[in-house]
């Protein structure tokens, strides 16, 4: 794919001035795949938010059916443009074509479910009167209203889906949106800004800011016209956003160190299959990836054997060449960090049955055994295709290792004793526990979130809508 010039929508305008651009390089061949008009100054950003606030005063009064129609038009456009869009995803983040298409389908489904849920929420306001509570002479009617300007900041790993899951609930509720895609994801971000415009959002409801976070990030997250922030990305940036915005709602989806706890009575073959899928899909570059295995020492060797067999089955190759399980990682920095963690684990006695091998941005998948809590990889988020395996004698040790993590996203428990799994679940400092399955954000209708360094607030279709609205109460008094 040749470098392409991408226009971008900022408020009412389609920007096509290419005198100052962000170049996006592909992790596949390191060539420029897109150049996009870039925002550079604080003043430009201030104007964008000011205009988004002005547009909000109009848009909040646009009838729900029109908002719905525009979002459905957007779905149709995503469907029509699936081939072009999925190619952009492949080149921009090295996700395979099959996975890119899945992401598009999931996003369309997400928007439709968001519309349905919003309708349900709006149809049933909370009414509190004497018939339900001791509120003599009063009838309180509580409804939802949009907040204003929602700032959405999305990561590289789901450049479409994790944008849509912020933009759709904001727009259906009557908020306007300013969004900033990750640098690796900016081609997708600008491409969909034009689709949103074509779908009907051409009156300033949507603005896409393109630029380097390191250059303009501070100006974006610190603006008085922002009413709510939804961010997915690193824990460090998330904390900064939370500190600068203590008086507005902030939803953060950050890092994770999800463990798979394997008990001695688990179906080990099936557990290994699910763990390998959970750990290595999209090269381990998912917040919900399985990032460590905690296994009962009595079944450790058997589990390692099954995990090795599953790793052996993984196909490896460039994302543009086929539907491979392991493709190019997003950047050399992350790849090198994985090698550094591997080396540190080796120095601390860990071993692997796989060859440690790298080809360009592709890091071959590795399971590390003999890992102890002395190894950095027992704690640090690798965000890559390296899976540490730690054994335990008593379940309390595994629980302790889970809970000592700085992260608190999800945990998986593999066992045939569901009662015990539920008991363990009650002791874990995470938001979601998956019994006999790897961690994941979906199904998207489920509430999803993290605690500690994994996040703040809840997402999921219904929760995202609620987080982008405020409650308005009208109290009638007799
Ligand atoms: O990377 C973070 C995503 O929210 C993970 O989503 O579990 O659907 O892959 P997923």
Query: 233 C-alpha vs ligand 1 centroid, how far in Å?
Result: 11
How far is residue 267's CA from residue 117's CA, in Å, rounded to a whole number?
37
The predicted-structure confidence for 22-58, as pLDDT tens digits, reads as follows 999 999 999 999 999 999 999 999 999 999 999 999 9
The predicted-structure confidence for 352-362, as pLDDT tens digits, reads as follows 999 999 999 99
If you average pLDDT over residues 173-183, what whole number do you get?
98
Give the closest residue (by CA) to ligand 1 atom 7.
Answer: 440
Query: 441 C-alpha vs ligand 1 centroid, how far in Å?
Result: 5
If you average pLDDT over residues 454-475, what whole number do you get?
97
Indicate which atom in ligand 1 lies nearest the CA of residue 442. Answer: 8
pLDDT level of residue 2 (50, 70, 90 thresholds):
low
pLDDT level of residue 3 (50, 70, 90 thresholds):
confident
Q: Please indicate whether residue 288, judged by its CB atom, sits closer than 6 Å to ligand 1.
A: yes
Which pLDDT score, from 0 to 100, does residue 404 have?
A: 98
Q: Name residue 449's beta-bridge partners.
A: 458
Q: Which of 288, 411, 445, 457 to mutate to test the pocket of ligand 1 (most atoms within 8 A of CB)?
A: 288
Length of the chain: 478
pTM of the model: 0.97
Which pLDDT score, from 0 to 100, does residue 334 have?
A: 97
Q: Which CATH number fits the domain 258-445, given the four candidates 3.40.50.300, 2.70.240.10, 3.40.309.10, 3.30.70.2190?
A: 3.40.309.10
Q: Please indicate whether residue 95, judged by its CB atom, sits closer than 6 Å to ligand 1.
A: no
Catalytic: which of 75, 187, 208, 287? Answer: 287
Catalytic: which of 253, 310, 381, 463? Answer: 253
**What percentage of the chain exceeds 90 in pLDDT?**
99
Query: 314 C-alpha vs ligand 1 centroid, how far in Å?
Result: 20
If you average pLDDT over residues 390-403, what whole number do you get?
98
If you average pLDDT over residues 442-449, what whole number do you get?
97
Q: How many helices (H) and strands (E) does the chain have?
A: 14, 27
> Strands 451-452 and 407-408, how do they pair?
antiparallel
Indicate which atom in ligand 1 lies nearest the CA of residue 157. Answer: 1
Tokens, residue 25: 């390089």
Query: 162 C-alpha vs ligand 1 centroid, how far in Å?
Result: 9
Q: Please indicate whether residue 286, judged by its CB atom, sits closer than 6 Å to ligand 1.
A: yes
Q: What is the mean pLDDT of the chain?
A: 97
Contact present, 424 and 261 (Cβ < 8 Å): yes
If you average pLDDT over residues 319-332, what whole number do you get?
98
Q: Please indicate whether residue 454, judged by its CB atom, sits closer than 6 Å to ligand 1.
A: no
Q: Provide the Cα torsion 138, 141, 146, 147; round to 10°.
A: 20
The predicted-structure confidence for 398-416, as pLDDT tens digits, reads as follows 999 999 999 999 999 999 9
Please determine, for residue 341, whether its predicted confidence score (pLDDT) is greater than 90: yes
Tokens, residue 203: 């009156």
Query: 138 C-alpha vs ligand 1 centroid, how far in Å?
Result: 45
DSSP class of 102: H
Q: According to the CATH classification, is domain 4-254+455-477 in 3.40.605.10?
A: yes
Please determine, for residue 1, whether its predicted confidence score (pLDDT) is greater than 70: no
Q: Please indicate whether residue 287, judged by its CB atom, sits closer than 6 Å to ligand 1.
A: yes
Whether 253 sits among the annotated catalytic residues: the reply is yes
If you average pLDDT over residues 378-392, what whole number do you get?
98
Q: Could you tell me the residue ranges of all domains in the chain?
A: 4-254+455-477, 258-445
Q: Please indicate whether residue 157, judged by its CB atom, sits closer than 6 Å to ligand 1.
A: yes
Angle, CA of 112, 431 and 177, to the nearest 5°:
40
Tokens, residue 339: 């090698």
């Amino acid at each position: 794919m040749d470098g392409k010039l991408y226009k971008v929508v900022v408020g009412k305008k389609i920007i096509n001035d290419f005198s100052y651009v962000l170049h996006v390089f592909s992790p596949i061949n390191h060539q420029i795949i897109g150049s996009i008009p870039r925002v550079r100054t604080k003043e430009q950003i201030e104007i964008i938010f000011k205009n988004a606030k002005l547009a909000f005063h109009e848009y909040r009064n646009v009838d729900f059916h029109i908002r719905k129609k525009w979002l459905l038009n957007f779905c149709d456009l995503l469907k029509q443009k699936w081939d072009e869009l999925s190619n952009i995803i492949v080149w921009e983040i090295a996700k395979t074509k099959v996975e890119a298409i899945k992401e598009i389908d999931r996003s369309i489904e997400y928007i439709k479910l968001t519309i349905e849920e919003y309708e349900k929420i709006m149809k049933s306001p909370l009414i509190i009167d004497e018939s339900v509570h001791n509120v003599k002479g009063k009838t309180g009617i509580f409804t939802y209203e949009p907040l204003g300007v929602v700032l959405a900041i999305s990561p590289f790993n789901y450049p479409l889906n994790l944008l849509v899951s912020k933009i759709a609930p904001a727009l259906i509720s009557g908020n306007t949106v300013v969004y900033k895609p990750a640098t690796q994801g900016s081609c997708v971000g600008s491409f969909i800004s034009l689709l949103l415009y074509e779908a009907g959002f051409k009156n300033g409801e949507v603005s896409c800011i393109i630029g380097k976070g390191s250059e303009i990030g501070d100006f974006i997250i610190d603006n008085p016209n922002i009413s709510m922030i939804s961010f997915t990305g690193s824990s460090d940036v998330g904390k900064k956003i939370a500190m600068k915005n203590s008086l507005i709602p902030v939803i953060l989806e950050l890092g994770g160190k999800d463990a798979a706890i394997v008990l001695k009575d688990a179906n080990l073959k099936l557990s290994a299959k699910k763990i390998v899928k959970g750990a290595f899909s999209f090269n381990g570059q998912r917040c919900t990836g399985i990032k460590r295995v905690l296994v009962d020492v009595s079944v450790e060797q058997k589990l390692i054997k099954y995990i090795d067999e599953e790793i052996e089955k993984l196909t490896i190759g460039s994302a543009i060449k086929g539907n491979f399980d392991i493709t190019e990682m997003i950047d050399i920095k992350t790849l090198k960090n994985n090698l550094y963690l591997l080396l540190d684990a080796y120095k601390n006695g860990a071993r692997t049955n796989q060859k440690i091998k790298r080809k360009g941005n592709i890091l071959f998948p590795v399971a590390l055994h003999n890992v102890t809590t002395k190894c950095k990889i027992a704690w640090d988020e690798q965000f890559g295709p390296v899976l540490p395996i730690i054994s335990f004698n008593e379940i309390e040790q595994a629980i302790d290792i889970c809970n000592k993590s700085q992260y608190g996203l999800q945990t998986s428990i593999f066992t045939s004793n569901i009662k015990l799994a539920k008991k363990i679940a009650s002791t874990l400092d995470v938001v979601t526990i998956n019994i006999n399955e790897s961690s994941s954000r979906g199904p998207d209708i489920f509430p999803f979130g993290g605690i500690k360094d994994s996040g703040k607030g809840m997402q999921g279709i219904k929760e995202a809508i609620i987080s982008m609205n405020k409650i308005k109460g009208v109290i009638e008094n007799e």
